[in-house]
Structure formats: C-alpha cells, structure tokens
A and B are shown apart, each in its own frame.
Chain A
Amino acid sequence: MIRSEILKEIAPILRDQLVVCNIGIPSQELHAIDDQPTNFYMLGTMGLASSIGLGLALSQPKPVIVIDGDGSILTNLGTLPTIANNVADNYILLIVDNGSYGSTGDQPTYAGQKTSLAKMAEAAGCDRVIECQAEDTGRVLQEALDAKQMSIIVAKCESGNAKMPVITMDPVVIRDRFMKAVQA
C-alpha cells in the first residue's frame, strides 16, 4: 500500500474529525480524496504539521488528527519531546512512514533505513506509541480515537504518490473555514 491508499481507506474516519495535513502531496491527496472544511492543508512550511496540531489540541477540546510523514518528522525532531511533555489526550499523530521524501521525488529518508521513529517517540517520552503495517492503519486510528489518549501512530507503507492536482484554494480561505469548523 502507498500513502494515497491509506488515506482513501481512513477517509471515512477522518471525515468528522479535525485534521491537520502535511505539506505537499499528502495534502493534495487528502484534498482530492475527501475535501472537508475540517481539514487544514499545509501549503508550505515543511515539518510543522505536528506542532500546529499540538497547539490546536491544547487549545480546544475536539480530537485532532495530524497526518504527517517520516521526512517531515525528521525535519522537526524537536517536536517529539514537546508532544511527550505536553500531554493532550485529544491529539493523535499519524506518521505515514514510507521511508521517503514523497513530494520531492521519493528520495530515501533515514526512517526507511536504520532509524525507528516509533522508538524515537518512545525515547522522547510519548506514552502511547503504535507502529503498524499500512493495512492496519484504519483499525489502529479508530482504536486511538476510542482510547481518548494521546497517541503516536507510525504506519509503515510503500513509497509512491498518486497523481493529484495542486491545491489552488486561498490559504486564508482554508484557514477561515477550518476555524469555523473548529468552533462549530
């Protein structure tokens, strides 16, 4: 399975939740599969999806699901200790770990080699860390929502991207409709 197949499978779970989605092809794929006002698409700023989602989770009570990537987490590794030490039980970080920088031409990341992001999250102090295979992502994500406990999910999948159009929505529109969905 590649990332877009995971996103298609978990779209019914994501639909009713606040979702912060990583820059580049992940946001393009989610936007094309199931655009919702509850989705915050990052159009730039590599690495900050997990931080934006944490700030959001700490500031209001609804569950927040962050769809991040292994390359993006590696860009902002300081996020893991911040997440671990500021527990928000409405926060789920789903790292789609395809071992590559998908948006830039599938160059390999260290997470696809010797580095384990699940072990790094545990070492950072995160209490509920689950590594799963791509096929189990939907079940593990639903369990995390039901657990109502801060969860870090590392879903291991194959490298590759679906061909989707670039998001042309204005960033202020994305942000405004998202904020209205947060308050709804």
Chain B
Amino acid sequence: MNIDKKITDDLVANDISFVTTVPCKQLAGVIEEIDAHDDIFHIPSNKEDEGMGLCAGAWMGGKRPAIIMQNTAIGVTINTLATLIQYYRMPLPMLISYRGELREPVACQVEMAVHTKALLAQMSIPTYHFHHQSDVEELDAILKYTFMCNKPVAILTDANFWGGYGDQ
C-alpha cells in the first residue's frame, strides 16, 4: 500500500479541497501527493497558527480544509485552537507527524512528544494515534467524524507508521 496516496485519496473522497502544510520529513511524500492533486488547493504556510487561520477562512468560504504539521506545532497553536477553531466551532482535521516517538533519532523531538497527548487531552481534542500501517484504514471514518462534529481532530502519525524515520 502506498500510504501517501491512500491519505490523499481519503482527503479527496471526503471533499477536502484546501490543504495547508508546514513540512516534516515524514510528511514529505504526502505533501508531494497533495501538491500534485488537481482537486486540492495546496497552500504552504510559514507557521501553523497562520495555517489554521487560512483553514478557518476557507471553511467559511465553503471549502473543507485540513492542516498537515508536526506535533511540535501543538505548542504553537494552543491559543488558535482555543480562541478560533473551537470558540467559533469549526471542523479541522490535523494530520500530524508525531515526532519523538519510537524509532526517533533526534533527542530534542522527544521533549514535545511527551507533552503532545497531554496537551491534546487538556484541549479536549479527539486524538487518534497511527502506529501500524494498517491504522490508516480508519482515516476515512476520522475525517467523516471531524466534519460531523465541527471540531479540531488530531491524527498522530509516528515513525513506526511511516516505516522508520530517515536513514533508520
């Protein structure tokens, strides 16, 4: 199975046509697929809170948005999640590269990894953790759930899910 293509196909099948990204090496393949897809407008953002602003506007304009980012960005976007996405009750699927988990080569990444789920739980954000490749089968249902309840929803995808990080 090509995970990058499967993720992109699920986004398109759920009518998601506006995707903003802040890159991560693990997400490079899926970002490339999204960029090449005719049914998705891909707009890279410089910071994740900026990206969430773009997504909020796109949704009010009638498009279904999504954001792709690293888990370190949870530290950047707490205020935006609370006072924009949650306060105005907007749907936002967040496909997150979960750095600092098993098979992580960079020690500093662990420092935000240990806070990631606690912060998401504190924010009452529904959170799913993809650890094995087969976990991606739930993505379609998670996307439908997100637009059913109009909430931000986190999908954490770790190095094991992606088949190892970098040269490992």
**Residues A82 and B63 in contact, CB atoms below 8 Å apart:** no
| A171 to B5 CA separation, bound complex (whole angstroms) | 37
| A78 to B41 CA separation, bound complex (whole angstroms) | 19
The answer to whether A175 and B57 touch (CB under 8 A), given A48-B52, A48-B80, is no
Q: Mark A51-72, 1 if CB is under 8 A from B, else 0.
A: 1111111111000000000000
* Interfacial chain A residues near B56, Cβ < 8 Å: 48, 51-52, 55
**Residues B62 and A59 in contact, CB atoms below 8 Å apart:** yes
| A175 vs chain B, min Cβ distance (A) | 4
Interface residues of B in 81-103 (CB under 8 A from A): 82-84, 87-90
**Residues A182 and B54 in contact, CB atoms below 8 Å apart:** no
**Residues A58 and B18 in contact, CB atoms below 8 Å apart:** yes
In the complex, whether A99 has a CB less than 8 A from a CB of chain B is no
Among listed B7-15, B43-51, B134-142, interface-contacting one: B43-51
* Interfacial chain B residues near A183, Cβ < 8 Å: 62
| A178 to B60 CA separation, bound complex (whole angstroms) | 8
A interface residue numbers (CB < 8 A to B):
20, 40, 42-45, 47-60, 76, 78-79, 81-82, 86, 171-172, 174-175, 178-179, 182-183
Interface residues of B in 14-61 (CB under 8 A from A): 18, 41, 43-47, 49-61
The answer to whether A45 and B63 touch (CB under 8 A), given A55-B58, A56-B58, A82-B43, is no
Main secondary structure of the interface of A (DSSP, over half): helix
* Interfacial chain B residues near A54, Cβ < 8 Å: 53-54, 57
The answer to whether A171 and B49 touch (CB under 8 A), given A51-B57, A59-B58, A59-B61, is no
| A58 to B90 CA separation, bound complex (whole angstroms) | 18
**Residues A78 and B50 in contact, CB atoms below 8 Å apart:** yes
* Interfacial chain A residues near B60, Cβ < 8 Å: 40, 52, 55-56, 59, 175, 178-179, 182
Chain A residue with the shortest CB-CB distance to B43: A86
**Residues B57 and A44 in contact, CB atoms below 8 Å apart:** no
The answer to whether A60 and B50 touch (CB under 8 A), given A43-B87, A44-B87, A55-B57, is no
9 further contact pairs, Cβ within 8 A, besides A50-B53, A55-B55, A59-B63: A43-B87, A45-B80, A45-B84, A52-B56, A55-B61, A58-B61, A59-B61, A76-B47, A171-B87
Closest 10 CB pairs of A and B: A55-B57, A51-B53, A44-B83, A59-B61, A78-B46, A48-B53, A56-B57, A55-B54, A55-B58, A60-B61
In the complex, whether B79 has a CB less than 8 A from a CB of chain A is yes
